[in-house]
Amino acid sequence: MFQSFDSTVDPSVGSARCAALRQELARLGLDGFLVPRGDAHQGEYVPPADSRLEWLTGFAGSAGMAVVLAEEAAIFVDGRYTIQVCEQVDTSVFAPMHLIETPPTEWLEGVLKPGHRLGFDPMLHTVAATRRLQKACAAAGAELVAVAANPVDTVWTDRPEPPLGAVTRHPEAFAGELAKAKIARIAAEVGRAHADALVMTQPDAIAWLFNIRGSDVPHVPLPLSFAVLGADETARIFIDGRKLSNAVRDDLSELADIHEPAELLPALAALGKTGARVMLDPDWAGAALETAITGAGGSIVEGPDPVVRAKAVKNAAELEGARQAHLRDGAAFAAFLAWFDTAIAAGPLDEITVAERLEAFRADTGKLKDISFDTISAAGPNAAICHYRVDRRSNLTIPADSLFLIDSGAQYEDGTTDITRTIAVGDVAEEARRHFTLVLKGHIGIATARFPTGTSGAQIDALARLPLWQAGLDFDHGTGHGVGSYLSVHEGPQRLAKTGHVPLQPGMIVSNEPGYYRTDGYGIRIENLEIVTPAREIAGGDRPMLGFETLTLAPIDRRLVVLELLSPVERDWLNAYHRRVLAEIGPLVSEEVRGWLEQATAPL
């Protein structure tokens, strides 16, 4: 099994570890220290060796930051984790704060005193974030101090070793483009930006550029690494050589010079000494990288990493791979749903059993590389925690007459999947069915959207929320995120969210996942993946419009639909979607599962 259900969360650790950190800060002459959740790559996926926030506080969410001062400490999380943080953290040690309502910079301005020295690790904070922190410190008369060695690492005596996941080549049949062609394409972008070189810090972008994959973090085939790409098409990759077999090293050396990670900062300083103009993304690159370049005499060309957007627009091979992966995954998921309905009728099930069975159905395809994230298998009130992760302590038996939410995905070599379904268990209360139907209406609003070129995810996000807004309801997460091609299940730059300002382009893949969460009651989410389709004419219209092609193929629970809340158009969409599910998945499943599928997709 790919998912472990052993909990590493222990709220009781916070007091002693915070005290040890404070003692080290006093030795260093610091009045406080910032502990972000991210590592030097600033990404969502962090190996155990870099999970400093979790080690210090017990918080296991995917975003957040702690601030430890001599007399007080706080932990900042967004709306997804307001419940979770109180369960995982000793709140008598770390005061929970809402990351959006009270940003850390605003809080620091209020608590720092003139002359205070606030420490930070410049590899773990982006250029842009560091500027905001410097401004907050200056407003309070305090000083932001970069440290050469992270004091958390000093007091973390049993810190795990850095990962050494083996690097593999990603075949051209799945990549759809040779790495040399990608390098030439991106190098031209660097030149057009009037830069001499590009610093790459995001491992998924590096994996895409060089057509490699790795295994350094759970569930995402990332090779943790940095790279520098010259406008002249020369490339350097900074990666632990122990991850490379002789064959992979030989192949990779034809594309780039290979260096150890410790050589990155000296290499950037050497670039700076030549007066080079170096391109980096201030929202992703650690502040230490900028300092190395400018401190040696170079200059920075700020801008988004051009690889990120190129990677987001899937080519024909990647799109076909995604379709094949979703057919395979849909058949496995249909078999799982059929099993669930039979098993829950026969007797009680718990969250872990269900997650394990779903993983087994995917493994039976013979193509599963890994799950794409820890399965959210959530019964009753646990489903109200958006990013709930079941463990052996939290594991609930699924209650009768309730909602069960399962959010899961798979990594196949030809594509990455992500699907959420909310399932009826017994007789579900009318209020919950009504909320489910409002979420479904928002989901259909996205799936059927047509929009002009240049439309951003922020403009589309409201379509998913409108039925909920009209009922005085909302949800505290984005409506959708980008998805990689056998890479990250959460990929930028595109997203359907209030902050999604990147225009959608044909070939991008996004999730469509509105939800609703009743604290201590239940959670609802319906998620499919969608491909942005090329602009097409609409009869009688003035201009072509982009749209969405739904990738995910699995029944949406008809038992939870309040039919009178759906418009005729929405009902027709659901019936048409279910006809497609039966037509495309039906031939791939057993006769028994097909019988269940015919009932699950019967027209309303």
Is the overall model pTM greater than 0.85, yes or no? yes
Sign of the four-CA dihedral 200, 206, 208, 210 = positive
> Is pLDDT at 2 greater than 90 in this prediction?
no
Q: How confident is the model at residue 7 (pLDDT cuts 50, 70, 90)?
A: low
* Alpha-carbon gap, residue 45 to 218, rounded angstroms: 8
The distance from CA 384 to its chain's CA centroid, rounded to whole angstroms, is 19
Q: What confidence score (pLDDT) does residue 26 get?
A: 97
Q: What confidence score (pLDDT) does residue 152 get?
A: 97
Average pLDDT over residues 574-589: 98
Average pLDDT over residues 103-127: 96
User: DSSP readout, 295-333?
Assistant: HTT-EEEE---HHHHHHHS--HHHHHHHHHHHHHHHHHH
Q: How confident is the model at residue 83 (pLDDT cuts 50, 70, 90)?
A: confident
The SS3 of residue 13 is helix
Q: What confidence score (pLDDT) does residue 72 get?
A: 94
Nearest to 421 by CA among 445, 448, 440, 446: 440
β-sheet with 368-371: strand ranges across: 368-371, 410-412, 415-416
Strand partners, 406: 377, 421
Average pLDDT over residues 218-246: 97
* Alpha-carbon gap, residue 21 to 42, rounded angstroms: 22
Q: Cα torsion for 330, 331, 336, 338, to the nearest 10°?
A: 110
In this predicted model, what pLDDT tens digit does every residue of 171-226 receive, in sequence order? 999 999 999 999 999 999 999 999 999 999 999 999 999 999 999 999 999 999 99
Q: How confident is the model at residue 522 (pLDDT cuts 50, 70, 90)?
A: very high
In this predicted model, what pLDDT tens digit does every residue of 357-386 receive, in sequence order? 999 999 999 999 999 999 999 999 999 988
Average pLDDT over residues 385-402: 91
Mean model confidence pLDDT for the chain: 96
Of 43-52, 79-88, 365-374, 550-559, the range with the lowest mean pLDDT is 79-88
What amino acid occupies position 51?
Answer: S
* Alpha-carbon gap, residue 304 to 286, rounded angstroms: 14
In this predicted model, what pLDDT tens digit does every residue of 8-22 receive, in sequence order? 667 888 899 999 999
Average pLDDT over residues 539-557: 97
Q: How confident is the model at residue 414 (pLDDT cuts 50, 70, 90)?
A: very high
Share of the chain above pLDDT 90, in %: 90
Q: How confident is the model at residue 60 (pLDDT cuts 50, 70, 90)?
A: confident
End-to-end, the C-alpha distance of the chain in Å comes to 38
* Alpha-carbon gap, residue 44 to 164, rounded angstroms: 19
Query: Counting every residue, how long is the chain?
Result: 604
Q: What confidence score (pLDDT) does residue 3 get?
A: 86
In this predicted model, what pLDDT tens digit does every residue of 85-106 receive, in sequence order? 888 898 999 989 888 889 999 9
Q: What confidence score (pLDDT) does residue 4 get?
A: 83
For helices 430-447 and 568-585, give the axis angle rounded to 10 degrees. Answer: 80
**With contact defined as beta carbons under 8 Å apart, do 371 and 408 qualify?**
yes
More confident residue, 252 or 2: 252
- Tell me the CA distances in angstroms from 452 to 153, 401, 463, 483, one per residue in order: 50, 44, 15, 22
* Alpha-carbon gap, residue 175 to 183, rounded angstroms: 14
In this predicted model, what pLDDT tens digit does every residue of 131-145 receive, in sequence order? 999 999 999 999 999
Of 59-68, 179-188, 213-222, 346-355, the range with the lowest mean pLDDT is 59-68
> Is pLDDT at 515 greater than 80 in this prediction?
yes
Q: What confidence score (pLDDT) does residue 1 get?
A: 57
> Residues with Cβ < 8 Å from 265, sequence gap 6 or more?
288, 289, 292
Average pLDDT over residues 75-80: 86
